[in-house]
Structure 1
Amino acid sequence: MMAAACGSSGNDEPNKPNPTPGEDNKVTDVATVKSNLSVGLSTDRACYAPGERVEFTASELPGRAKIRYRHGSSIVKEEPMTSLKWYWTPSNTDFKGYMVEIWAPGDKDNEEVILGTIAVDVSSDWTKYPRYGFVATFDDSKLADGVIENEMAFLNRCHINGVQFQDWHYKHHWPMPGTRDNVLESYTDIANRTLSAEAVKKYISVQHSLGMKSIFYNLCFGVLDDAKADGVKDEWYLFKNPNRGDKDMHTLPSNWKSNIYLVDPANEEWQAYLVERNDEVYANFDFDGYQIDQLGNRGDLYDYNGNKVNLPKGYASFIGAMKQKHPAKRLIMNAVSSYGASQIAGSGKVDFCYNELWNDEANFNDLHTVIKANDSYSGNSLRTVFAAYMNYDKADKTTGEFNTPGILMADAVMMALGGSHLELGDHMLSREYFPASPLSMSEELRDAIVHYYDFMTAYQNLLRDTSTETEFKAEMKCTDASKRVNINAWPPKENGLTTYAKNVDGKKVVHLLNFRNIDNLSWRDLNGERPAPRLTLNTPLELTHSGKVTRVWTASPDYHGGAVVELPFTQSGDKLTFTLPSLKYWSMIVVE
């Protein structure tokens, strides 16, 4: 059990051994850290295989600058910065995140200035730490020089390692544009948009060159009104009553290609039919897997013979059939409002959990509830990605920009809990219809998002290696009453600070989330009106901790580009005191 109470910053001097606690276990000799994030950084890939060389590019070459490679707080390597382009080969150890810091000595003794940061993910399997993005527009304009390359460069900078292709397909029951042997170069999608097969292929090619995986989207049970002519049988449909009346369907605008009618995902003939259609897709497009969709709870439905259908059970059967035919391809399935989540995750055939959240899961605490449930359903083996559409009502009524505080608060909570957010693509996502882009990212938000994705990637071992089974309550208080800072353990409360904590690899990891100045605990920020939380500086904390402490450090995507800041501390018995230099949205505190 660990409890904390409510400032000076610090960091390791380069290549300096860990401070040795004195008789009273007090550490005071740490570097002072400042930042001037003037150096832009990029890497040549979104993720790397163990032992694969990383190529870095910098926007400028500052005087006296050094490059420091960290795993957690440990310095792996340090070297002078002598060029705008350089290479580094991480160790062969799989599934590790690193933070690369460009820094220079400050004006004072034992002072460091962080000039730039970037993360590196070394993982042989992207689904261990999914950072999922999307693309949704595939017309000829995307074939112009640099269009796809520039879009994917931003996703690469955010270390997006898997990309969902939404509404790329010809028909839901016949996703392949054309036939196995005759691909249509130009075709229309469900909304009658004109698409280019070459644009789809170019996206895949560019993504693969960056180490990303390309995943095609389709429903598990959708057919259009011309499906019979394409071989879909009447016996496969789902009905709203047992007398074959009222086929279940998803109604779409009249100027679209068709409404979508539902068939039974457990019907073996339908499964065999769609497997063959998918085989045609894989033969012509170098996709790495299938993003399976559903439509949530449809109420009572019946098959052709009048039997009531168990859709969640059917989802598991469908997933199994898809995996059996294409075992090397990855599968992800949407659990809309958690419908069927147990059967999907419990199938043992999906690569991570994917939850599309709506108003019945609209609160910050619901994010934790979903992750904890997914951990249970998957035996603590699968990570969670949230399809969570931000500023939804604002996007429905107007154009403009996303509300930066709303986005960052949602991302902070999702990432601190060990999840990630499907939001980045050829634009930022605000609607369930992925091609819609009424809202755009401001430059402030783009810059902040890069730091958040660097943070999630660099510290992925602390954030995502363990499940909710390792969480504990970190009771915190501020020791300076004049600051009027209220701290509570998860779940969040309005107008205070909230801790979420886990035991990870022998360390205590305590996330401090800032809800000061926030009186609405919904992650959705529907109208884009959430204010930024009140910045909290130099907060003295006390932590009840059993066991000897050798190091306390903090890092935040909002502070010094996510670089490690080592903190002076005093431990007396089971009381550990230190000062947190800054808390904007989210700071992570690690006790070693």
Structure 2
Amino acid sequence: MRKYIYSAIMLLALWSCSDDDNATAAPEPNITGGVTDVVKVNDGLTLNLSTDKVCYKPGETVTFAIDGNVPADAKVRYRKQSEVVGEQALSGSTWTWTAPEPDFTGYLVDVYRTESDGSETVLGTIGVDVSSDWTRFPRYGFVATFDATKTVDGVIEQEMAFLNRCHINGVQFQDWHNKHHWPLGGTRDNLDEVYKDIANRDVYTSVIKKYIDVQHSYGMKTMFYNLCYGALSDAAADGVKDGWYLFTDTRHASKDKHDLPDTWKSDIFLVDPANQEWQQYIADRNDDVYASFDFDGYQIDQLGNRGDRYAYDGGKANLQRGFTSFIDAMKERHPDKRLVMNAVSGYGTYSIALTGNVDFLYNEMWDSESQFSNLYDVIRDNDLYGRHQLNTVFAAYMNYGKESGEFNTPGVLLTDAVMFALGGSHLELGDHMLCREYFPNNSLAMSQELRDAIVRYYDFMTAYQNLLRDGGTVTEAGLTSSGDVQVAAWPPALGSVTTFARQVGDRKVIHLLNFMDADNLSWRDMQGTMPEPRLIEGLPLRLKASAKVNKVWVASPDWLGGAIQELPFSQANGEVTFTLPSLKYWTMIVVE
């Protein structure tokens, strides 16, 4: 909806199982909750890793580069979750790796060295996505300004290099078009070099083309934005008929419209998305777009629940059914192109998903869905509507009440932690970080601290995508703490650590989310007041487990670059006990 207005990781030794109880012996926790006789873990990465693309097909060559001083004894290791699938000595600052054959698989790659005491120090990490289709695990970004500032050498390249580092595999082009009903600037035979967008900002055709070229060089896919039913005031001159519109009355006297500032091109008048003549008309205009720009698909938008609206003949319009019809028509015209449609506050989600013609589900979140608990509700419903085949992307605008300054890092990271742990992703990264539904708005800036942390969060989501976003069954965590920290099941509660768990194959995946110091339970963090959570270390935990446990490991985007740490544990009397090394915002526990 557009209103427009850790440097180190210790792989802790597994303790031998006794024949008597099939349990793994572990040292007793000391009175502060730590584990005795464990070698110290040093935190702090010293190398920055990058890859040449956002994702790879099985068997494709992955090219890595390192920024930093690489020790002579450094090695590189490739992990699929806790399994080491490859390792090699590292010489130089660049190297290649052949992506393994399993499709739709995430890997964590770490560069490390072995110290004199036998411990390991991780120097740098990065996630790698081996997927032949980006929509299986969408990590969506955007671009929204196409004026002369983007013609300066290096600007677009620098922006897209950051999106590549964050593994953004799809990019939505917002406010790129000339008119909603005539998106192309000019005609396919005579493209305008420069034209005006809806807000009368300059759009350079050369900038759009360069963005697409640079994004494609990284393996990103490009999606052009437009409403499914928008027309400007001069639409009649361009062939839009009065009989196609939506009206607020049964006598077609008052066209439905979305008001915009007087300094903009026009208000937006709404047509009936189910009208077949309109569908043919806008599909023809999209033919022009695809003939002129190498877009990979269409990001369809809507404005949410409009209340009662009427077609020209006075019959009540069914917009949600109209969305279904519109999507089907767009897919029929361009079956090789991807489609995604916005569900504003959930409006039309079922109809959108039912088509089977959208590639993932996209929810723009507003006041009615402002609680952290609502994020799970949306993902649960989307999974049902999409028949367990479609992942969820949230368009969710952080610090919405702040007019200027920087994003509040704790608010952003806690929201991303919850979204990613639940299995969703967050539309937030683009030519700037997103703070409003009007995508060109860049009134809030990313601090370097947030920028660095975001890279780790997207590495984590990519590396562990098969545990986060690849099915599984929501289950009880069955986790309690014998310490002073309150550990409680979902949904979140202030002053506690919240757990959320899934059974994924033979692995139980438990997420710990730190709400100990949160000042509210809204993901929006409207005024940017969410405080930084306290660091919890050495937390003793007990887990209900009737089956034999073979391994317990943890990983966090907040610690050790997402690299895993295997934990000593004991199992007896239907419980597994272990000590959690660290929790800042989010730590994932995996029980195999």
Please give the range of the TM-score, normalised by the shorter of the 2 chains.
over 0.9
Per the alignment, do residues 297 and 80 of structure 1 end up closer, same or farther by CA in structure 2, a change over 3 Å counting? same
Q: 1:461 aligns with which of 462, 466, 470?
A: 466
Question: Is the Cα contact below 8 Å between 1:351 and 1:382 reproduced in 2?
Answer: yes
What are the equivalent positions in structure 2 for 1:266-345 lying under 5 Å apart? 266-345=274-353
Question: Is the Cα contact below 8 Å between 2:420 and 2:461 reproduced in 1?
Answer: yes
Residue 77 of structure 1 deviates from its aligned partner by 0.9
2:556 is equivalent to residue 556 of structure 1:
yes
Question: Is the Cα contact below 8 Å between 1:54 and 1:89 reproduced in 2?
Answer: yes
Per the alignment, do residues 208 and 27 of structure 1 end up closer, same or farther by CA in structure 2, a change over 3 Å counting? farther
Residue 560 of structure 1 deviates from its aligned partner by 0.5
What are the equivalent positions in structure 2 for 1:81-480 lying under 5 Å apart? 81-109=90-118, 111-394=119-402, 398-466=403-471, 470-480=473-483
Q: 1:22 aligns with which of 10, 18, 22?
A: 18
Question: Is the Cα contact below 8 Å between 1:10 and 1:30 reproduced in 2?
Answer: no
Question: Is the Cα contact below 8 Å between 2:488 and 2:497 reproduced in 1?
Answer: yes
SS at match of 2:224: strand
Identity %: 60
2:495 is equivalent to residue 492 of structure 1:
no
CA–CA distance in structure 1, aligned partners of residues 153 and 431 of structure 2: 15
CA–CA distance in structure 2, aligned partners of residues 441 and 42 of structure 1: 20
CA–CA distance in structure 1, aligned partners of residues 84 and 76 of structure 2: 11
Question: Is the Cα contact below 8 Å between 1:65 and 1:102 reproduced in 2?
Answer: yes
CA–CA distance in structure 2, aligned partners of residues 438 and 538 of structure 1: 40
The match for 1:503 is: 503
Amino acid at match of 1:375: D
SS at match of 1:393: coil
Residue 572 of structure 1 deviates from its aligned partner by 1.0
Amino acid at match of 2:395: A
CA–CA distance in structure 2, aligned partners of residues 556 and 293 of structure 1: 35
Amino acid at match of 1:303: A
Amino acid at match of 2:334: H
The match for 2:546 is: 546
Kindly indicate whether structure 1 or structure 2 has the higher relative contact order, using CA contacts under 8 Å at least 6 residues apart.
1
The match for 1:573 is: 573
Question: Is the Cα contact below 8 Å between 2:63 and 2:96 reproduced in 1?
Answer: yes
Question: Is the Cα contact below 8 Å between 2:57 and 2:99 reproduced in 1?
Answer: no
Residue 33 of structure 1 deviates from its aligned partner by 4.4
Amino acid at match of 1:208: H
Residue 19 of structure 1 deviates from its aligned partner by 6.7
Q: 1:64 aligns with which of 73, 76, 84?
A: 73
SS at match of 1:318: helix
Amino acid at match of 2:96: Y
Q: 1:79 aligns with which of 85, 88, 96?
A: 88
Structure 2 alignment gaps of length 5 or more: 1-7, 27-36
CA–CA distance in structure 1, aligned partners of residues 39 and 137 of structure 2: 32
Per the alignment, do residues 10 and 201 of structure 1 end up closer, same or farther by CA in structure 2, a change over 3 Å counting? closer
CA–CA distance in structure 2, aligned partners of residues 181 and 19 of structure 1: 72
SS at match of 1:26: coil
Question: Is the Cα contact below 8 Å between 2:519 and 2:529 reproduced in 1?
Answer: no
Residue 180 of structure 1 deviates from its aligned partner by 1.8
Question: Is the Cα contact below 8 Å between 1:33 and 1:565 reproduced in 2?
Answer: no
Residue 11 of structure 1 deviates from its aligned partner by 4.8
Residue 477 of structure 1 deviates from its aligned partner by 1.7
CA–CA distance in structure 1, aligned partners of residues 280 and 541 of structure 2: 60
CA–CA distance in structure 1, aligned partners of residues 369 and 468 of structure 2: 22
Q: Between 78-87 and 254-263, report the one with greater CA deviation.
A: 78-87
Residue 30 of structure 1 deviates from its aligned partner by 8.8
Question: Is the Cα contact below 8 Å between 1:19 and 1:551 reproduced in 2?
Answer: no
Per the alignment, do residues 30 and 287 of structure 1 end up closer, same or farther by CA in structure 2, a change over 3 Å counting? farther
Question: Is the Cα contact below 8 Å between 1:34 and 1:114 reproduced in 2?
Answer: no
Residue 62 of structure 1 deviates from its aligned partner by 2.1
What are the equivalent positions in structure 2 for 1:5-44 lying under 5 Å apart? 11-12=10-11, 21-23=17-19, 24=21, 25-26=23-24, 33-44=41-52
SS at match of 1:517: coil
Amino acid at match of 1:413: V
Residue 104 of structure 1 deviates from its aligned partner by 1.3
SS at match of 1:493: coil
CA–CA distance in structure 1, aligned partners of residues 319 and 116 of structure 2: 66
CA–CA distance in structure 1, aligned partners of residues 324 and 478 of structure 2: 41
Q: Between 166-175 and 35-44, report the one with greater CA deviation.
A: 35-44
Residue 102 of structure 1 deviates from its aligned partner by 1.0
CA–CA distance in structure 2, aligned partners of residues 157 and 504 of structure 1: 28
Residue 554 of structure 1 deviates from its aligned partner by 0.1
Residue 38 of structure 1 deviates from its aligned partner by 0.8
Amino acid at match of 1:338: G
CA–CA distance in structure 2, aligned partners of residues 488 and 299 of structure 1: 40
The match for 2:31 is: none
CA–CA distance in structure 1, aligned partners of residues 38 and 92 of structure 2: 29
CA–CA distance in structure 2, aligned partners of residues 86 and 19 of structure 1: 36
SS at match of 1:533: coil
Question: Is the Cα contact below 8 Å between 1:31 and 1:566 reproduced in 2?
Answer: no
SS at match of 1:524: coil
SS at match of 2:42: strand
Amino acid at match of 1:44: D
CA–CA distance in structure 1, aligned partners of residues 258 and 533 of structure 2: 40
CA–CA distance in structure 2, aligned partners of residues 52 and 441 of structure 1: 34
Number of equivalenced pairs: 572
Per the alignment, do residues 33 and 21 of structure 1 end up closer, same or farther by CA in structure 2, a change over 3 Å counting? farther
Question: Is the Cα contact below 8 Å between 2:519 and 2:531 reproduced in 1?
Answer: no
Question: Is the Cα contact below 8 Å between 1:30 and 1:567 reproduced in 2?
Answer: no
CA–CA distance in structure 2, aligned partners of residues 533 and 36 of structure 1: 19
CA–CA distance in structure 2, aligned partners of residues 584 and 505 of structure 1: 27
Q: Deviations over 1:293-314 (max 9, x none)?
A: 0000001000000000110110
